[in-house]
Structure 1
Amino acid sequence: MSFESLLHVVDSSMDLPVLDDGPIMNQIVQLLTNMDLRMKRLEHVMFKIGNIETLLAGMKGQISEIDSDLKIMKEKEKDRDDSLMKISNLCDKVSKKTEENYSRIEKLSTDVRSINDHSKSVVNQVSTIESEHDKLIQTVVDLQCRSMKNNLIFHGLKENTGENTEELLRLFIARELGVDYHFEFGNVHRFGRHTTGRNRPIVARFIYHKDLEYILSVSNRLRDKPYGINQQFPAIIEEKRKILYRVMKTYKQKGHKTRMVRDKLFIDGKLYEQSGHAEDNENTLPKTAPVYRPWKDPPADRRSKRRCLSSGSPSYSNDMDYTFTENNPIA
């Protein structure tokens, strides 16, 4: 029974005839009044309970959202933990790799130090080898110079097929140099690559060095003629002599006395250095140089061994052809 139905019963009861027992009715009324108060209180409580239920419903929704957020956060935290684990593993790998690299670097450093020590030894060995190589080159060049000591090169004699080179050279010496002595040759031949239109030079090896000196002493008779005579030297010496020829010519024009020995130029008796003038070296170079004295006459100790061309040398005619096409400097 609802509270309104109860009130209706109470109101209806007021129309009933009043009993003589007044206290009982008063007690009943009092009881109903108390019940009414209690019902009102219950209604108030029920209203609050309804509000609480509404609040609880809202809180439930919020709790659901919070729970959802917590799940998301847990998932993110799990992912973060996984990421941290991956980062930790990566850091471990990097640390391990770093230690390995450090060990390798230490080993490489040791190897580099060993290589440096070995390279110093190699450099010293190379320096020694280079020094020995230079000495060997000097020795070889010296040996070549010695082997060519008795060689003279004659430039410009016309080359003919089937020619007798030695006879042609003897004829040239007799007619152009005016020397009617018989020289002893070890070998006479042309050298160089044969080229059409050019005459290869002739190299002659004299048995006696004094014969070579004698030919050089009269080589000035070829001045203003298209002939050339010079000593033979190794290629390395010739390259240096080509440079020194120009220097020698310059000093000659200035009135200095010049003389060239192999690849060395002496100016006024002092060795010329390309870094400066001969005067710059007078404190470190010899004061005098060997003097070359050309013969005016054949040496006395060899005259008996020479034979006049008219008695034993090959004959020649005035129309023999030894025309020159090159004009080389006379040594």
Structure 2
Amino acid sequence: MTRRHFRSVILLLAVGCLPTSLFADTIVLKSGQKIVGQVLKTQSDTLFVDIGVDIVRVPLNRIQEHVKDKTDTEPAAVKTDAGLLRTAKMPTRTVKDLVSQFGEGVVLVQNPEGLGSGFIISKSGHCVTNFHVVEGQTRVAVTIFHRTESGELERVAIRDVKILALNPHFDLALLQIPKQENLEFQPVYVADDDSHREGDAVFAIGSPLGLERSVSEGIVSTRSRNMDGIVYIQTTAQINPGNSGGPLFNTRGEVVGVINMKLTFGEGLGFAIPVAYLRHFIANRDAFAYDRTNPNTGYHYLQPPRRTNPKQIYDVLKETE
């Protein structure tokens, strides 16, 4: 980019051109001019900024101050429900912005027999996935896609992930990722209710067929598809094996469902577990605690009383007369 072109971009910003994103950083140059836009990438000597109509390449030696928009990473009115789930009031944004902000919270879940997806819900490393992703397994690993200071994504494989709770009926599982040095978990936010409606835009992030960090977009086809006594969210977002356990987001970046299946011979017929079931599972996680010594862990049924022979009852009553 020539110096003349660079100055023309600065002038364009000065007369009021706004970036496409609702949230933007402010780059203050040593000359006193300001650039407002979304930082796409940082290299050793250059910053790339999206100003809405163009991508500006800014040399780092010409920057006096970089003011980050904290609303991008610190939504207002954050609260925690059920001891783990985080909720926050956030405005509607583009899928591109939301993937950039919350993509680090989506993980790849692996076991010796296959893989699926999951998402982090707490700073302590609690992670949600499907029961069928870890069913019958005792060795689980996850891969986190951590964004470095340079803006690049780094794959971090973590083993010895603990299984904390399982709910086979709702197809949900709660994992615990061990803490890592120099790595802070980035949890996602979960919708406070099921206010989404048919036609609302949604998108999924996961690893379909092992293709890491794939994004698919669609709408809510119906919010109450009843199958085997359980209500599911039906969506046109493309779902494939490997998406299981991953989050279904709305356009505010809130998780509205946990993806768990699709119809084999249909396109655009994916299904997700509503957050109401997820909240119930997390709030009562102690009742679904995992026990690796119990082959039926996840099911907690009491043995029914034995059926009594009517003749024995008659004999006992006769003896007491």
Normalising by the residue count of structure 1, what TM-score does the alignment of the two structures yield?
0.19
Which of the pair has more CA radius of gyration?
Answer: 1
